[in-house]
Amino acid sequence: MDCGVIASKSVLLLISLIFWAAAAGLSYVGGHVIDAYKSYDPFLQDKYALLPGVIIICVAVVMFIIGLIGCCATIRESRVGLGIFLIIILMIFIAEVAAFILGFIYRGKVKTDFRDPMEQAFRSYDGKSEDSHVIDFLQEELQCCGVHNYTDWINSSWYNATANSSVPVSCCKQGVEKANCTGQLSQLQLLNQEGCEEKVESGIQSVLSYAMLVVLGFAIVKFFGMLSVCVLTCKRENDGYHPLHSGVFA
């Protein structure tokens, strides 16, 4: 057995063994992407923005099965098994490249997808609806106020409806007691003044960037795996060839 075959089998076995760890990692990343988007679901205009995360999770499920197929095919040096292994790896490679491209596309569309729904949600804020609770959670979690900044509330129906012309108390800075912060603009030092749009956009883009890097890394591993399958398959074909003058045909 030459060095090429040994190296190829070692690579394939290593890839097969890490498939389960990779599946767990991709499941976490895909779930994290979906969970991050669901936190801002009322602001999502394009529901297909969840597609990269869904693709990543589907890939993770298939990878667990491939790990078993890869081990068996490599150890037995089965041409059929290696062929199936190559096809499956190729399909996953294509899916990962697709997820990477979609993630890159939607990373650039985050701002436009969120802007109009977010502005509409802030305009219709009444402190009681589900969207209003999401806005309160958003402002408290990200320590922001309004879409662009706290002045966005001045033209809102909520600001005009309150007798004291105040912003929601969810605009209050973290650590400030609610009794001391009523949301009045005269207490500006107690309020967060930065808008939420930029922070939401930055958070989503950060998650997508992390997911894209992970997917790209696994796609590179799949590429080397396909090369190893080709080397091992070609070696078996060469081993099966016998010239006419050999003792086999004597």
Least reliable range by pLDDT among 26-40, 78-92, 123-137: 26-40
The whole-number average pLDDT for the span 54-75 is: 82
d(CA 213, CA 220): 11
* DSSP-assigned letter for residue 162: S
pLDDT digits (tens, 9 = 90+) for 178-230: 667 888 888 788 888 888 888 888 888 888 888 888 888 888 888 888 888 88
Q: What percent of the chain has pLDDT over 90?
A: 0
Long-range contacts of 118-122 (CB under 8 A, 24+ apart): 118/43, 118/147, 118/196, 118/197, 118/200, 119/147, 121/42, 121/43, 122/146, 122/147, 122/152, 122/153, 122/156
Of residues 144 and 79, which shows the higher confidence score? 144
pTM attached to this predicted model: 0.59
- Enumerate residues 6+ apart whose C-beta is below 8 A from 177: none
